Structure 1
């Protein structure tokens, strides 16, 4: 089951790559970020940001994700690190990123952060037929009747 739910997670993140990210242990609200995915990397994603963004310094972090259809949710633990590999920046660069940086890839405020994923909890909201009936009639639900839950190493 864990492989199945992990595949569902990556597919959902690819379809809607928006996550809320915050540094672990900080008393600051998480902020929305657009995850840049690399199909060859299954344990990391990236964010373009600016040097004055509170995440720019990196460190232990958490990301929250809700799929576009609200049928998959994830809480992801990992570590944010500056990505200094120019080849990665070139591979992930696109017009929607360029719109934010006046001097393009050489903008002095540009920072590329890599989020190295450690583990996650993933939930799906796929009610069974019995679960849908219980929801509609107000009967007591069991968690397994609403969807799946897994703790996974990413």
Structure 2
């Protein structure tokens, strides 16, 4: 269950915490013809920036290399959802590659940190729409039954937009 107290007090911090725990998010492209794709976020909480290891020869990598810009990032879990808008650019800092490098990342790049396919993407969030719920399964069933009886929408959580 999402912590609604955090949702009200510091939704920006909660969003970064949620993304840090995410195995992957869906990341968009500046080319509207391309589909979003699953990517593993690397959260820099000091800068409030999200990095992604990518492939410079992939559709996304090639697009962002020549056309950086505004994209959407989507995160969905059982009780927390977010759509984040921000600027996505290629990022060429070796220190960033080193900072987040681990065995899971290494599995994708056989030649290591100097793999010719490796590129970093930098996502600077601008704003987000977020939804959170602290409803347990019993509350969910109750709210659904009540909504059907009273012909109204169930009360299962909250939504807000925030600047980041």
TM-score range, shorter chain: 0.7 to 0.9
Structure 1 alignment gaps of length 5 or more:
none
Would the alpha carbon gap of residues 141 and 147 (structure 1) be closer, same or farther in structure 2, given more than 3 Å must change? farther
Please tell me whether the aligned partners of residues 126 and 148 of structure 1 are also in contact (alpha carbons under 8 angstroms): no
Quick one: which of 42, 50, 56 aligns to 2:55?
50
Partner of 2:91: 83
Aligned match of 1:62 in 72, 82, 85?
A: 72
Q: Normalized per residue, which structure has more helix?
A: 2
Partner of 2:105 in structure 1? Answer: 97
Q: Please name the residue that 2:18 is paired with.
A: 12
Once superposed, what is the RMSD of the aligned Cα atoms? 2.3
CA drift of 1:109 comes to 1.0
Using the size of structure 1 for normalisation, the TM-score is: 0.84
How many residue pairs end up in the alignment?
A: 150
Aligned to 1:148: 158
Task: Report SS of the residue matched to 1:6.
Answer: helix
| Distance 1:4-1:26 versus aligned 2 partners, 3 A rule | same
Conserved? CA contact 1:73–1:122, under 8 Å: yes
Structure 1 residue 28 corresponds to structure 2 residue 37: no
- The TM-score with structure 2 as length reference comes to 0.80
Inter-partner Cα distance in structure 1 for 2:86 and 2:23: 17
